Amino acid sequence: MRLVRLIFGTTEGAVGAVLLSLLVFIALFAPVLSPGDPLDIAGPPLLHPFSMARLPLGTDSLGRDVLAGIIHGTRTSLTVGLAAAFAAIAVGVCVGLAAGFSGGLVDEALMRVVDAFQILPGFLLALALVSVAGASLPVVVLAIALGAWAAPARLMRAQVLSIRERDYVAAARVTGMHPLEIAVKEILPNALPPVLTLAAVIVAAAILTESALSFLGLGDPNIVTWGTMIAEGRNVLRSAPFLSVLPGLALVVTVITVYLVGEGVTQALAEGKAGQVDRQGPTA
């Protein structure tokens, strides 16, 4: 795909894509890279990193392998991040498309709902939902998505409003195309690109929100997450800071990776559009 090539053309995109592939690899092959349950006791507690070859990053206060925790935590973070972003964008796109295309009362009604969700601080909404519905992975994903769908909806609607007036949409109507087909075939594909650049921001925010929820003890207790690891490391911060710092570093690297990919996508899209203009020349 041309877009993929363009992404690799930018420095940010290339670096981000490579790092992301690495993270995805780690997430997919976690059971292979680090067999066994990461919550099992693997050795003596509070072992410092690089002191034993078998446990390169040491152990926590219960003796669990830190490296295993970080590897398996990658799975959680990426799953939550991608799932929440996907849900938020899917819902946002549908609502934005419906609002922009219908206009009138439907548009007004939907936009008031979007307003309502946008006013609520995303993290507090997530906190509230998790406290009420219990802390499990699907609930966490839902909670984050609920806080994040309003922005893509609004952006999508703005795009639709602008594209609706273009001549090619009028041409589609003149051809006798059904309104639904116009919405999906003519408008949606052209409205989507800027909304996709939001995806990176939402993924990053989702990963951080999930970590924050686990840090507060509201995450899924049955799986390993970086947030819980950071939380547990808090108690021994003076004597064993690596317990909080290492998962924290993993978090930073992941979020930066996502941002880099997002930046690559944004630049690639801008380049793509500029390339189109350049091809015509400035009207000679």
Partner 1 sequence: MTLLTVSSLAKRYVSGTRPVTALDDVSLTLDRGETLGLAGVSGSGKSTLARILLRLMPADGGMVRFEDDDWLSLSGTELRRRRARIQMVFQDVLSAFNPRATVGSVLDDPLRIHSRLKERDRRTEIAALLDRVGLQAALVTRSIHDVSGGQRQRVAIARAIATRPSLIVLDEAVSALDVSVRETILRLLVELQQERGIAYLFISHDLAVLRAVSHRIAVMDAGRIVECGPAGDVIERPRSDAARSLVAAVPRLVIRG
Partner 2 sequence: MTLLCRMLNLRVTYHRQASAALDLSALDITAGERLAVIGESGSGKTTLARALAGLLPETARCEGEIRWTSEMPPQPGRDLGFVFQDPSSSLNPVLTVGEQVAEGARQHLNLSWSQAFRHARDLVASVGIPDPDSALNAYPHQFSGGQRQRLAIAAALSARPSILVADEITSALDMVVQAQLVALLDELVRQAAMTLIFVTHDIALASGLADRLVILKDGRLVECGATAQVLERPQSDYTRALIASHRTLSSRSLLPGSAA
Alpha carbon distance 60, 43 (integer Å): 9
Collapse the DSSP code of 221 into the 3-class scheme (helix H, G, I; strand E, B; otherwise coil) and give the result: coil
- By CB under 8 A, is residue 273 in contact with partner 2? no
Instruction: State the minimum distance, in angstroms, from the CB of residue 45 to partner 2.
Output: 59
Collapse the DSSP code of 103 into the 3-class scheme (helix H, G, I; strand E, B; otherwise coil) and give the result: coil
Hey, what amino acid is at 89?
I
Instruction: State the minimum distance, in angstroms, from the CB of residue 3 to partner 2.
Output: 16
Residues 6+ apart with CB under 8 A from 248: 226, 230
Alpha carbon distance 145, 163 (integer Å): 27
- By CB under 8 A, is residue 2 in contact with partner 2? no
Q: Which of residues 186-215 bind partner 1 (CB under 8 A)?
A: 186, 189-190
Contact of residue 168 among partner 1, partner 2, none (CB under 5-8 Å per partner type): partner 1
| Choice between 119 and 277, CB closer to partner 2 | 277
Q: Around Cβ 215, how many Cβ atoms within 10 Å?
A: 19
| Choice between 5 and 238, CB closer to partner 1 | 5
Q: Which of 13, 146, 20 is nearest to 85 (CA)?
A: 146
Instruction: State the minimum distance, in angstroms, from the CB of residue 280 to partner 2.
Output: 8
Choosing from 36, 121, 134, 275, the residue that interacts with partner 2 (CB under 8 A) is 275
Residues 6+ apart with CB under 8 A from 196: 89, 265
Contact of residue 134 among partner 2, partner 1, none (CB under 5-8 Å per partner type): none
Question: How many residues belong to the site for partner 1 (CB under 8 A)?
Answer: 18
Contact of residue 104 among partner 1, partner 2, none (CB under 5-8 Å per partner type): none
In angstroms, what CA-CA distances link 110 with 84, 95, 202? 21, 7, 21
Contact 208, 216 (CB under 8 A): no
- CA quadruple 35, 38, 42, 43: dihedral positive or negative? positive
Question: How many residues belong to the site for partner 2 (CB under 8 A)?
Answer: 7
Instruction: State the minimum distance, in angstroms, from the CB of residue 187 to partner 1.
Output: 9
Q: Which of 133, 128, 98 is nearest to 113 (CA)?
A: 98
Choosing from 175, 222, 276, 283, the residue that interacts with partner 2 (CB under 8 A) is 283
- By CB under 8 A, is residue 272 in contact with partner 2? no
- By CB under 8 A, is residue 278 in contact with partner 2? yes
- By CB under 8 A, is residue 170 in contact with partner 1? yes
Binding stretches for partner 2 (CB under 8 A): 275, 278-279, 281-284
